[in-house]
Amino acid sequence: MRCLIFLVSFFSVCAFAQCEKQTHAPVNVDNYYSSVSENSPIGLRNSLNRIIRGHTSYSYTPCVWEILREADEDPSNDRNVVGFYTRRSIPKSDRDSGQNDPDSWNREHIWAKSHGFPRRSQDAYTDAHHLVAADRSVNSDRSDNDFEEGGAPDDECTGCFEGSGTWEPPDEVKGNVARMMFYMDIRYEGNDGSGTPDLQLVDLASTERSNTFGQFGKLCTLLDWHIQDPVDARERSRNNVIHSWQGNRNPFIDRPRYAMQIWGEQCGLSGEISSLNETPNGTVAAAEDNPEASILEASARIAQIETEIETIREMLEDLSN
């Protein structure tokens, strides 16, 4: 009888744990940004915030797992994701489920959650525009450090460096990091129902400032990275995938010049990034369909069951705390 009750409870939790995607239709990028005011940095900030705030939010488990399985899928192997820092292709099935496997992948907050939103109920905690699939051990190495150049080479991630309270990612993702951080600064102004305070980029590392809650550095290093590592097709595709889930976009991927207009003078940088880096005018953004989706149905179901088990494990941990 007790086994029957357990099984009923288990499948009830599994049913509850399934992630239901609220699909958002593709948009014309010109129309999406038609209300933007570029007359001043503050006007640009405010108008962008009005456009991208109020997105559809999801549960950390199981939904963020599912979003990253799609957003960070290896284009050469649809059964894998690509680890953000190492660029290593990792089987989707090797997800971190508490087994302490350093080679598994987990969910990395580019804007570390300790810098403003430590609770899962806060929208920034589950905002996939700054969440990426990452090697578990490298995610641990990065910790919640600010972004800056320099330090000692990481023993696993080629091109990564650990400084005193700082982290330098590889060159090929520096621009990606910068644009995710710009998004977070603009999206979260503490002026909506997201439960997230005003997030601010500053040109100081944590060791150089007394307050770290809600702040992140270093702004001008990030702006340099934004210029050095331009937007590419892979990053645009990811922006489309996240939009299909959340209904909002990262404007600094679509319109890189916005970053220069907001922070360029503050960082002593002038001019605009070439329009060649922007999403072409009139382009309709849409996530690509996977023609082999029916073939992968069985493996997708297995992954879903793994996600449901992970949900139960996290619920039990919460109950024990």
Q: What is the pLDDT of residue 280?
A: 74
pLDDT above 90 covers a percentage of the chain that reads: 72
pLDDT tens-digit series, residues 60-100: 999 999 999 999 999 999 999 999 999 999 999 999 988 77
DSSP string, 186-225: HH-BS-STTS--B-EE-SS-GGG-S--TTEE--HHHHHHH
Task: Give helix 171-187 / helix 219-228 axis angle, nearest 10°.
Answer: 130
As a whole number, mean pLDDT of residues 136-141 equals: 96
Selection from 190, 210, 186 nearest residue 198 by Cα: 190
In which element (H, E) is residue 80 found?
strand 77-82
d(CA 182, CA 146): 14
Least confident piece of the model among 37-41, 130-134, 308-312: 308-312
Place of tokens 């330090």: 151
Task: Report whether 230 contacts 92 (CB < 8 A).
Answer: no
pLDDT tens-digit series, residues 101-120: 888 999 999 999 999 999 99
As a whole number, mean pLDDT of residues 129-141 equals: 97
Q: How far is CA 219 from CA 162, 263, 272, in A?
A: 18, 8, 17
d(CA 94, CA 240): 25
Whole-prediction pTM value? 0.85
Q: Would you mind telling me the total number of residues written for the chain in this entry? A: 321
First to last CA, the chain: 28
Task: Report whether 106 contacts 317 (CB < 8 A).
Answer: no
pLDDT tens-digit series, residues 237-250: 999 999 999 999 99
